[in-house]
Amino acid sequence: KDIEKFQKFDIVHSYPMHLLPTMAKISKETSAKTMISLNGYRRICPKNDLQYLNEHNCRDNGLLKCTSCIARTSVEDSGSTLRTAAGRLGNFKLVSDTKQDWKYIDKFHAQSPHVKSIYNQFGFNTEAISVIPNILDEIFCVDHVSTFSEPYKFLYVGDLNKRKGVQKLPKIAELIDKKGIDFTLSIVGDGNMKNYLSKRISNLGIANQVSIEGRVPYQELPKWYAKHDLFVYPGIWDEPFARVFLESMAAGTPVVASNVGTIEEILGNGGTVTSGSEESIAEEVARVIYDKKLENQSKNAYSKVEEYMPSKIIDQFIREYKNMQYPHTSY
pLDDT in the model for residue 46: 87
Q: Assign 239 a pLDDT band (cuts: 50, 70, 90).
A: confident
Spatial CA neighbour of 276 closest among 259, 256, 254? 259
Residue 41 CB partners (closer than 8 Å, separation 6+) = 48, 49, 50, 118, 240
Burial tier of 99 (Cβ tally within 10 Å: 0-12, 13-18, 19+): middle
State mean pLDDT over 43-62.
86
Q: Assign 255 a pLDDT band (cuts: 50, 70, 90).
A: very high
Residue 301 has pLDDT above 90, yes or no: yes
Question: Could you report the per-residue pLDDT of 132-185, keeping only the tens digit for each?
Answer: 999 999 999 999 999 999 999 999 999 999 889 999 999 999 999 999 999 999
Better-scored residue on pLDDT, 154 or 238: 154
Amino acid identity, residue 264?
E
Q: Tell me the percentage of the chain whose pLDDT exceeds 90.
A: 70
Better-scored residue on pLDDT, 278 or 47: 278
Residue 153 vs residues 87, 175, 227: alpha-carbon distances, Å: 39, 15, 8
Q: Assign 331 a pLDDT band (cuts: 50, 70, 90).
A: low
* CA gap 202, 185 in Å, rounded: 14
State mean pLDDT over 215-222.
97
DSSP symbols for 14-74? ESSGGGHHHHHHHHHHSS-EEEEEE-SSTTT-TTSS-EETTTEE-----HHHHHHHHHHHH
Q: What is the C-alpha end-to-end distance of the chain, expressed in Å?
A: 37
Q: Assign 278 a pLDDT band (cuts: 50, 70, 90).
A: very high
pLDDT in the model for residue 1: 61
State mean pLDDT over 249-274.
96
Question: Could you report the per-residue pLDDT of 189-209, keeping only the tens digit for each?
Answer: 999 899 999 999 999 999 999
Instruction: Note if the pTM is more than 0.85.
Output: yes
* CA gap 78, 151 in Å, rounded: 36
Q: Tell me the percentage of the chain whose pLDDT exceeds 70.
A: 96
Q: Assign 2 a pLDDT band (cuts: 50, 70, 90).
A: confident
Q: Are 239 and 261 in contact (CB under 8 A)?
A: yes
Half-sphere exposure of residue 297: CA atoms within 13 angstroms, side-chain side: 25
pLDDT in the model for residue 42: 82
Strands in the chain per DSSP E: 11-14, 33-38, 51-52, 56-57, 107-110, 129-131, 152-157, 183-188, 210-214, 230-233, 255-258, 271-274
